[in-house]
Amino acid sequence: MTSILIKQIDAILPQTQCTRCGYPSCLDYATAVANNEAEINQCPPGGDEGIYKLANLTGKDYLPLNPLNGEIKPRSIAIIEEDKCIGCTLCIKACPVDAILGSNKMMHTIITDKCTGCDLCIPVCPVDCIIMVEAIPTGWTDAQAEVARLNYEKHKLRKIRNEEARRIRLLEQSKRLQK
């Protein structure tokens, strides 16, 4: 039953992967809610609508958004002021859905259709060239949330593959040095 509840809770969450709830991903927050380790009011991007849906699903009373987790705001997306970008790649590494395109010492840009508005790229930028702008006010659809979930899963798998490839390279290099 818990795994079904986790999936149902995760389906309600907006999949921004913003970590504002205090968990590293929407799925981790869903797991915590299902296991009664977190309250239903910790997701600012989900807003009041999300809290009401979580309350209905879990049978818990509605609670207003916990202010420690942020505030409810209109959906936004990141924009890079490209003339200021130094190509450090820190934003690329911080983006949980691979919505930033660029390479080392080259200008970066946001793939706006993929940006979830998590704003995790902002604090890592050493030149403050990333700003958040209000998205077109169509809201965040279930289809967009599903695409964001898939992009996050692809991002996680890519990181695992890259880490494994790095570990193998270091192991091979160590063996060569020992000869």
Which pLDDT band, with edges at 50, 70 and 90, does 174 fall under? confident
CATH number of 74-179: 3.30.70.20
pLDDT at 9 over 70: yes
Instruction: Give the per-residue pLDDT at 1.
Output: 56
Instruction: Give the per-residue pLDDT at 14.
Output: 93
Instruction: Give the per-residue pLDDT at 111.
Output: 93
Q: What gap in Å lies between CA 92 and CA 102, rounded to an integer?
A: 8
Q: What gap in Å lies between CA 70 and CA 47, rounded to an integer?
A: 10
pLDDT per residue as tens digits for the range 76-91:
999 999 899 999 999 9
Q: What is the pTM of this model?
A: 0.84
Q: What gap in Å lies between CA 66 and CA 69, rounded to an integer?
A: 6
Q: Where in the chain is the domain with CATH 3.30.70.20?
A: 74-179
Mean pLDDT of 9-37: 96
For the chain, how many helices (H) and strands (E)? Answer: 5, 4
Distance of CA 20 to the CA centre of its chain: 9
Q: What gap in Å lies between CA 45 and CA 72, rounded to an integer?
A: 6
pLDDT per residue as tens digits for the range 107-147:
889 998 899 999 999 999 999 999 999 887 666 788 888 88
DSSP assigned state of 136: P
Percent of the chain with pLDDT over 70: 98
**Which has more confidence, 11 or 178?**
11
Q: Which of 122, 115, 130, 96 is nearest to 24 (CA)?
A: 96
- 2-69: CATH topology: 3-methyladenine DNA Glycosylase II; Chain A, domain 3 (1.10.15)
Each residue of 135-174: b (16+ CB within 10 Å) or e? beeeebeeebbebbbebbeebeeeeeeeeeeeeeeeeeee
Instruction: Give the per-residue pLDDT at 135.
Output: 82
For the chain, give the mean pLDDT.
92
Percent of the chain with pLDDT over 90: 73
Q: Where in the chain is the domain with CATH 1.10.15.40?
A: 2-69
Instruction: Give the per-residue pLDDT at 54.
Output: 97
Beta bridge partners of 131: 79
Q: Sign of the CA dihedral 121, 123, 129, 131?
A: positive
